Amino acid sequence: MEFSDVENDIAEILYTEQEIHEKIAELSRRIEVDYAGEKVLLVGVLRGAVMVMADLARELTIPIEMDWMAVSSYGSGTQSSGVVRILKDLDTDLHGRHVLIVEDIIDSGLTLSWLRGNLETRGAASVEICALLRKPEAAKVQVDVKYEGFQIPNAFVVGYGLDFAEQYRNLRGIAVLAPHVYA
């Protein structure tokens, strides 16, 4: 795909690379204070959280470990159902660990609410959530997100790890897709 095609597919840029970088730095400073003296286990949710994880991990000045999970929500079409299947589980034993789930975006909240509950049953000392984006208007369940980047309107966004049909993950900013892409 040519770069010119990508530009044509975008309706609006919500956040630039620089704005995302500044937000991640801001969240990192809070995380460093809250986890001072601890070693935090960052749990990235594949695949959307790859960019957030890479930037957050490198911004943090405290000791961290990284692990990954892949989950899929059963449901009709694009709607999350809340019934979640683990496609790839963690390799790490969570007993006594301070777990920080790293997510790209919270939409209905169903996936993350299930995931947090699942990780809490594994003996972790604490489980918190860091999500770069959240759509408050789309919430079906309340999820307590300790580290939240930006609240966005209820639109479908791509870039910085977020895809539409596996494309656009490599855009450096976060953008709203143009309607013609869905058609």
Name which position in 52, 157, 171, 175 contacts ligand 5GP (CB under 6 A): 157
20 binds ligand 5GP per the rule CB under 6 A: no
Partner whose footprint covers residue 128, from ligand 5GP, Mg ion, none (CB < 5 to 8 Å by kind): none
Could you give the CA distance from residue 89 to residue 108 in angstroms, rounded to a whole number? 22
Q: How far is the CB of 39 from ligand 5GP (least distance, A)?
A: 26
Q: Is 107 a catalytic residue?
A: yes
Could you give the CA distance from residue 15 to residue 175 in angstroms, rounded to a whole number? 7
Q: Cis (ω within 30 of 0) for the bond into 47?
A: yes
Of residues 25 and 70, the one with the C-beta less far from Mg ion: 70
3-state secondary structure of 178: coil
Name which position in 104, 113, 124, 133 contacts Mg ion (CB under 5 A): 104
11 neighbors 156 (Cβ within 8 angstroms): no
Of residues 45 and 130, the one with the C-beta less far from Mg ion: 45
Name which of 70, 76, 84 is nearest 117 in CA terms. 84
Name which of 137, 154, 158, 136 is nearest 145 in CA terms. 136
Q: How far is the CB of 99 from ligand 5GP (least distance, A)?
A: 17
Q: How far is the CB of 164 from Mg ion (least distance, A)?
A: 8
Name which position in 6, 118, 163, 181 contacts ligand 5GP (CB under 6 A): 163
Name which position in 53, 60, 110, 124 contacts ligand 5GP (CB under 6 A): 110
150 neighbors 23 (Cβ within 8 angstroms): yes
